[in-house]
């Protein structure tokens, strides 16, 4: 029989904290899977149904923040960050990397458990983010279709357009776009984003010459029009 318990992946390198969390969550009726490094997380998500990740920011192999950004490229699994430093959280929230909540160490296991329940309730009510009208995203083929035509996009053009298309109306700064769409942020930030947006616009225009779905916000960044 398939278990109906929510399965929580705990990514924490300090054994004492990991054990405390595991014990508390299992006592509270969750199933847990624990790993001490970030590397196994992506493949674990492919192998198992994971309902939520409790992710320590300070991991030995990869920062939890980087890992979360990586996850967000393909997955909507909710993430609650664990951090020892409140100032890390300001950065995380500022970057909008898509964490659902955070808990600052030291925390009580009961508090963490309550946060997990709250996030799961919220997420279960929400539909999957749907792309802007006119666009279709096929992640497995890394393909975006616009007005029925498949766009021929480079790797970063695809990543960038996907970010915009999934949140129509939301204004992203160039830094945010760089952060969300690039595996390794490059140095010539602004111009790189601008150059790719320019190419994307040309490709969209080739499909539908009268509409420019991308809005430039001078001195800020870009958004995708909501009213197309």
Residue 34 as a binder of Ca ion (CB under 5 A): the answer is no
The token duo for 129 is 């983010």
Choose which of 58, 63, 77, 143 interacts with Ca ion (CB under 5 A). 58
Site for Ca ion in 1-20 (CB under 5 A): 13
Using rule CB under 5 A, residue 70 touches Ca ion: no
By CB under 5 A, residue 98 contacts Ca ion: no
| Helix, strand, coil abundance in the chain, percent, nearest 5 | 45, 20, 40
Query: Before 106, cis peptide (omega within 30)?
Result: yes
Which distant-in-sequence residues (6+ apart) come within 8 Å of 214 by Cβ? Answer: 164, 197, 200, 201, 204, 222, 223, 224, 225
Smallest gap from Cβ 102 to Ca ion, in A, equals 14
Least spacing, CB of residue 62 vs Ca ion, in Å: 12
- 9 has which bridge partners? 33, 53
Nearer to Ca ion, 83 or 176 (CB): 83
Span near Ca ion by CB under 5 A; candidates 24-32, 57-65, 160-168, 193-201: 57-65
Residues that bind Ca ion (CB under 5 A): 13, 56, 58
């Amino acid at each position: 029989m398939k278990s109906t318990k929510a399965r929580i992946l705990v990514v924490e390198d300090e054994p004492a904290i990991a054990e405390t969390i595991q014990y508390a969550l299992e006592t509270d009726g969750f199933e847990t899977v624990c790993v001490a490094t970030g590397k196994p997380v992506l493949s674990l998500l492919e192998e198992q149904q994971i309902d939520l990740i409790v992710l320590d920011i300070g991991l030995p192999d990869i920062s939890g923040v980087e890992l979360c950004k990586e996850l967000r490229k393909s997955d909507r699994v909710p993430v609650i960050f664990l951090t020892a430093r409140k100032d890390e959280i300001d950065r995380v929230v500022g970057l909008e990397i898509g964490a659902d909540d955070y808990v600052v160490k030291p925390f009580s296991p009961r508090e963490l458990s309550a946060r997990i329940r709250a996030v799961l309730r919220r997420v279960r009510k929400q539909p999957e983010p749907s792309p802007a009208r006119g666009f279709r995203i096929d992640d497995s083929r890394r393909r975006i279709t616009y007005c029925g035509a498949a766009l021929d996009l480079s790797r970063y053009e695809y990543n960038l357009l996907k970010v915009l298309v999934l949140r129509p109306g939301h204004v992203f700064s160039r830094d945010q776009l760089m952060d969300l769409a690039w595996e390794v942020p490059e140095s010539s930030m602004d111009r790189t984003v601008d150059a790719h947006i320019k190419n994307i616009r040309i490709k969209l225009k080739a499909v539908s010459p009268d509409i420019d779905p991308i809005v430039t916000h001078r001195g800020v960044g870009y958004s995708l029009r909501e009213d197309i």
